[in-house]
Structure 1
Amino acid sequence: MNTVSKGPEFVVSRAEGAWLWDENGDRYLDGTASLWYCNVGHGRAEIADAVHKQITTLDAYTVYGDFANGPALELSARLASHAPVADPRVILTCGGGESIETASKLARRYWAALGSPAKTHLISRTGGYHGLHGFGTSMGMDRFRAGFGPLIEQTSVVPHDSVEALEQEIQRVGPENVAAFFAEPVIGAGGVYAPEPDYFARVAELCRGYGVLFIVDSVICAFGRMGDWFGVERFGVSPDMIVFAKGVTSGYLPLGGVITSGEIADPFWNHPGNPFIHGTTYAGHPTCCAAALANLDILEREDLFTASLEVEAHLDVSLRTLSDHPLVREVRSGVGVMAAVELTEKALMEHGITTDEVFQEARARGVVLRAIPTSLLMSPPLIVSWQQIDHMTSTLRSALDAVAARHL
């Protein structure tokens, strides 16, 4: 708020494909697909048409209790048919933060229904971002937790790349107290960190052995961004729950959800006296579900799952040409259509360079990236062209050069 109060806002007025235009008519490459979500690109008439058709038929209605609507049922069935979860069931929400909240409460409520109410502790990974609702903030990075006072205490964080550290933490807390472990297939907002090839297979086995639910946060990684439906398929595991949002509608309307195994659903579906008292006003919103269905049609018809693997490879090759820049410590890319360019400690600490400086220079040159404390992040739409990727890379190099010229 303070930053905006000191200068003009950057007002986006329209968008098409991978391009944005501001209120002055200047054009920018959307190097982040907005906030990791516009997978099919901006301005898709098919989605707009589906929204118009639905909103003039049944605009909205609650799905509490036994209420349902056609688009919500169709979307749930379609998502379940692709989910790498045993006997999948779907809970719809309005976004990623709500979905994390839902999964966290469901994990705790599941164990209580099974007679283990002490199993409330939730474990996450360093760099993990799980939204900014109550549970997500409590499990997230320190910089998102500071200044809010006490949050949910039964949480802890382990190194993102260590199965051994996860096991030690489960033993420290006590398996009888641990409800679930949350992990993104690739850590996104925390800096784009991909796991070792066998990491998730080992995690899944460990969680099974200790009776801990394994919950995958695929809010960023799903719907083609990693070449498949939910991202976690790439590692050959079947989690207990998958959290999704963002790319399910490519952001055209707010929607998210949780896919849970039949085993987790069983105490609530098949046994009386175990209600899961939870829900949100707009969950299962028919117009949002219609947007999602049209979005999934595009993903399948244009096979953006295969295309994204090709984009992933070209993005990796292109961005790695920045590795020789004096301000660049590391380029992290090659697993999913996402990447991070991290600045050197010397640039950040000794020369006082900030990633926001580089971000501003890139935007002034017509490319929108995302700045976090030590890195610039990229996650373009899956329909981005090779030329647009190379334009993004060359623009980032020019931005780095401009910053270096001021400080070095």
Structure 2
Amino acid sequence: GMTTPDGYLKRIRELCTRHGILLIFDEVITGFGRVGNAFASQRFDVQPDMITAAKGITNGCVPMGVVIASDDVHEAFVQGPDNAIDLFHGYTYSGHPLACAAAIATLDTYAEENLFDKAIELGDYWQEGIHSLKGLPNVIDIRNYGLIGAIELAPRPGAPGTRAYDAFTRAFHEGNLLTRVTGDVIALSPPLILEKSHIDRIFQTLADTLRATA
């Protein structure tokens, strides 16, 4: 992942509008409170034409995907004859009642426990924690926004991706910490119920892991 300069996404919005290009935000990771709003597009004050979302709508416990479209995009699909299907996008498990029940319960919990505020309340503490890893062996870059973080490691010569993978497995087996990796980047997106003590444990475990991973 990467962070963007201030105003970058608004400029992209302007260019897409000017040239008639649809702007689509993938908010599978950033959606549902991860950056302090329901969606990152709200945090950046940019309205895309479409938003894709998934895991966060059901707390990841039942598979469900979501596409949110603007009125203009919606209207483009409902101009056909009355006997035609407006959006031929149905599948065997579309609108599954179990997934819908999980989504409703999850959205209720977000509201009842004010979980979207977590990224605002803990954002500075999270940032301090992740940047405490600066200077540890093989760490070449650290990026964060809201309750999202990425630690980029220097690749091993001739074996890219193996260093981060080894750190991933060591953190899991020796530190009881589950992260994810993409290439040589350790990616973090913790649950919204975390507290400061959890943040301390996450980054202490990662510090120990990075020191032990050659």
When normalised by structure 2's length, the TM-score is 0.91
Q: 2:64 aligns with which of 255, 258, 262?
A: 255
Counterpart mapping for 1:98-247 below 5 A: 192-247=1-56
Q: 1:325 to 1:285 in 2, by over 3 A?
A: same
Residue of structure 2 in register with 1:403 after alignment? 213
Is 1:316 equivalent to 2:127 in the alignment? yes
Identity score, percent = 36
How much does 1:386 deviate? 0.8
Counterpart mapping for 1:226-375 below 5 A: 226-272=35-81, 275-333=86-144, 335-345=145-155, 348-349=156-157, 354-363=163-172, 364-375=174-185
Q: Deviations over 1:218-246 (max 9, x none)?
A: 11111111111122111111111111111
Counterpart mapping for 1:40-119 below 5 A: none
How much does 1:316 deviate? 1.0
Structure 1 counterpart SS, 2:132: helix
Aligned residues: 210
Distance (whole Å) between structure 2 residues aligned to residue 351 and residue 288 of structure 1: 40
Q: Deviations over 1:58-88 (max 9, x none)?
A: xxxxxxxxxxxxxxxxxxxxxxxxxxxxxxx
Q: Which ranges in structure 1 are unaligned for 5 or more consecutive residues?
A: 1-191
Whichever residue aligns with residue 373 of structure 1, its letter is: G
How much does 1:285 deviate? 1.4
Structure 2 counterpart SS, 1:331: strand
Q: 1:210 to 1:389 in 2, by over 3 A?
A: same
Whichever residue aligns with residue 193 of structure 1, its letter is: M
Is 1:383 equivalent to 2:184 in the alignment? no
Whichever residue aligns with residue 284 of structure 1, its letter is: G
Q: Deviations over 1:117-140 (max 9, x none)?
A: xxxxxxxxxxxxxxxxxxxxxxxx
Do the aligned partners of 1:311 and 1:382 also contact (CA within 8 Å) in 2? Answer: no
Whichever residue aligns with residue 237 of structure 1, its letter is: V
Q: 1:269 to 1:377 in 2, by over 3 A?
A: same
Whichever residue aligns with residue 264 of structure 1, its letter is: V
Q: Deviations over 1:6-45 (max 9, x none)?
A: xxxxxxxxxxxxxxxxxxxxxxxxxxxxxxxxxxxxxxxx
Residue of structure 2 in register with 1:61 after alignment? none
Whichever residue aligns with residue 391 of structure 1, its letter is: R
Structure 2 counterpart SS, 1:368: coil
How much does 1:293 deviate? 0.8
The alignment's C-alpha RMSD in Å is 1.9
Higher normalized contact order (CA 8 Å, seq sep 6+, divided by chain length) = 1
Do the aligned partners of 1:315 and 1:337 also contact (CA within 8 Å) in 2? Answer: yes
Do the aligned partners of 1:355 and 1:373 also contact (CA within 8 Å) in 2? Answer: yes
Structure 1 counterpart SS, 2:28: coil
Q: Which ranges in structure 2 are unaligned for 5 or more consecutive residues?
A: none
How much does 1:372 deviate? 2.0
